[in-house]
A = this chain, B = another copy of it.
């Protein structure tokens, strides 16, 4: 197997404190994964991400396929090497962006033809192609190619979308199993401990069967409980390395999001990692982690930061506000990140007003520290509650 997942403690509410052993990092879960769309968590240097304690980041297959191209990345030793990120990575399947960003999409059972949002060039993605691209990128975890069902979608539409996603999951898995060992670091990766010393546990190491990529299946089904159940059950039968819940936080009311998550979680194998995709606000990631979600990602902390929205222990603040013009307090008085330890709200506001790029960098560092801090607290609590 390509990953090891050990649950260290569990709460009555279903929350799990775990260790997810991946070829490039043992990740402490529940974990929040910063989004590194184009091979960079926007505006933040890699060493700062390390200092913040990020153990796993995302890369977007659609974006990296278009720029600089997955074959170029493979030739350069894979995504980890290309962006100089030695810790764990996960790539999405490209599906979400194909459906949200590209133009002139044409979906068939075979796959999706679309035009690049960059230059209008024509491309065709199939489950097999998505796997090939993700194996070339070489993240620790790849995702099955799926269609993210939009909201609202009527039952017939959700059902048809699910049919496609399930067929694609099967094809993704078959193709991935046949080719996962072609990942460029297959014979190179040695798992390192926190201090960088190589450690090769008995079932782990270079040339070892364990040292390759993992594939997660994605539960869809819109906002229909029975479709979600069907989706989960069929994926579990296929036996993926882990399971994601997709197609949520796409506009539906939050109560409905919660209902779908609560419906799906108990159907997923307890000993496999569970990943809730593209979610959410700070209170949401805390809530879902306590329910038993092990992994989450979201562009919110990074994207909001670039627009001046800071998440703090005192709530959200829009740093552009005039009231911060001479505010000499730190962005968040309860935060001990490198931004809150050094800079004032007045300075962050000034950078934003002046359109300085340091604004995006500092705002993002704080928001990521805030998100990662929430998960650290949840992990501590899960230990205590257990």
Interface residues of A, Cβ cutoff 8 Å to B: 38-40, 42-47, 67-68, 72, 75-77, 82-84, 325-326, 328, 338, 342-344, 346-347, 350-351, 353-354, 356-358, 360-362
Are A325 and B45 closer than 8 Å at their CB atoms?
no
Are B342 and A47 closer than 8 Å at their CB atoms?
yes
Are A40 and B76 closer than 8 Å at their CB atoms?
no
Give A354's nearest chain B residue, CB to CB.
Answer: B38
What would 9 more interface pairs be, CB under 8 Å, given A38-B351, A39-B351, A43-B356? Answer: A39-B350, A39-B354, A40-B356, A42-B356, A67-B350, A76-B326, A76-B328, A82-B347, A84-B343
Are A67 and B353 closer than 8 Å at their CB atoms?
yes
Are A68 and B38 closer than 8 Å at their CB atoms?
no
Shortest beta-carbon distance from A237 to chain B in Å: 40
Are A42 and B76 closer than 8 Å at their CB atoms?
no
Shortest beta-carbon distance from A60 to chain B in Å: 11
Are A357 and B361 closer than 8 Å at their CB atoms?
yes
Are A84 and B45 closer than 8 Å at their CB atoms?
no
Contacts of A75 in B (CB 8 A): 326
Shortest beta-carbon distance from A200 to chain B in Å: 25
Are B325 and A72 closer than 8 Å at their CB atoms?
yes
CB pairs A–B below 8 angstroms (27 shown):
A38-B356, A39-B347, A39-B351, A39-B354, A40-B354, A40-B356, A40-B358, A42-B357, A42-B358, A43-B357, A43-B358, A45-B358, A46-B342, A68-B346, A68-B353, A72-B325, A72-B346, A75-B326, A76-B326, A76-B344, A77-B328, A82-B344, A82-B346, A82-B350, A83-B347, A357-B357, A361-B361
Contacts of A43 in B (CB 8 A): 356-358, 361
Are A326 and B358 closer than 8 Å at their CB atoms?
no
Contacts of A343 in B (CB 8 A): 84
Q: Complex Cα distance A47/B365, Å?
A: 13
Contacts of A72 in B (CB 8 A): 325-326, 346
Shortest beta-carbon distance from A277 to chain B in Å: 23
Are B76 and A346 closer than 8 Å at their CB atoms?
yes
Contacts of A83 in B (CB 8 A): 347
Please give me the 5 A-B residue pairs with the lowest Cβ-Cβ distance, nearest first.
Answer: A43-B357, A40-B358, A38-B354, A357-B357, A84-B342
Give A43's nearest chain B residue, CB to CB.
Answer: B357
Contacts of A357 in B (CB 8 A): 42-43, 357, 360-361
Are B42 and A84 closer than 8 Å at their CB atoms?
no
Shortest beta-carbon distance from A179 to chain B in Å: 23
Q: Complex Cα distance A338/B44, Å?
A: 14
Give A306's nearest chain B residue, CB to CB.
Answer: B357
Are B42 and A362 closer than 8 Å at their CB atoms?
no
Contacts of A76 in B (CB 8 A): 326, 328, 344, 346
- Most chain B CB atoms below 10 A, which of A353, A357, A360: A357
Are A362 and B38 closer than 8 Å at their CB atoms?
no
Q: Complex Cα distance A43/B346, Å?
A: 18
Contacts of A360 in B (CB 8 A): 357
Q: Complex Cα distance A83/B349, Å?
A: 11
Q: Complex Cα distance A356/B361, Å?
A: 11
Contacts of A325 in B (CB 8 A): 68, 72
Q: Complex Cα distance A20/B183, Å?
A: 56
Contacts of A84 in B (CB 8 A): 342-344, 347
Q: Complex Cα distance A353/B66, Å?
A: 12
Shortest beta-carbon distance from A315 to chain B in Å: 24
